[in-house]
Amino acid sequence: MSDTTAPGRALRTGPGRLLVAVYSVFALAATARGTYQLATRFDEAPAAYLLSVFAGAVYLVAAVGLARAGRASRRVALVSCAVEAVGVVTVGAVGLLAPSLFPDDTVWSGFGAGYGYIPLVLPFLGLWWILTVHRKDRARAV
């Protein structure tokens, strides 16, 4: 990692490079899945399908936030990773306590079990990385 001074520059380098790739794939997977299900079987489980589309949108925003430089992008990435963390934990818990709410599976169902639990780990890795870079930047600024 070079000694760049522009804030946010480092977010997409190093481990962030991998995070952006993973986020992009999940954005595509969740959005495509949700859109397809909404278009073909809206009546069956609209809440689950809308949730998939929403999750896809959050992944997309996070990917863009991580990939772009700047203070605002960093905040966007931070917020979207936080939303995602809350989302996957909430949906996982709801699935356990009240399975009838989401009759069909989403990316976040069962804490992301259908996707190798990556959806559960990903937001926390994202948050960790954003905070790590942020701390480094602040240490450098002082």
Partner 1 sequence: MVDWLTMTIQMASLAMAGWCLVSTFRDQPMLVPHLVGMGLLWLLVIGQGVVSAVALIGGEGPEETVMYVSYLATVVLLPPACAVWGFMERSRWGPAVIAFACLVLPVLMVRLEQLWNPVV
Note whether 8 and 69 are within 8 A (CB).
Answer: yes
135 vs 140: CA distance, rounded Å: 9
- Fill in the per-residue mask, 28 to 67: x = in contact with partner 1 (CB under 8 A), - = not in contact: x---x---x-------------------------------
Query: If binding is defined by CB under 8 A, does position 90 make contact with partner 1?
Result: no
Residues 2-21, interacting with partner 1 (CB under 8 A): 13-18, 20-21
State the SS3 of 57-71.
HHHHHHHHHHHCCCH
137 vs 142: CA distance, rounded Å: 9
Least separation, in Å, of the C-beta of 18 and partner 1? 5
Q: Residues interacting with partner 1, by CB under 8 A? A: 1, 13-18, 20-22, 25, 28, 32, 36
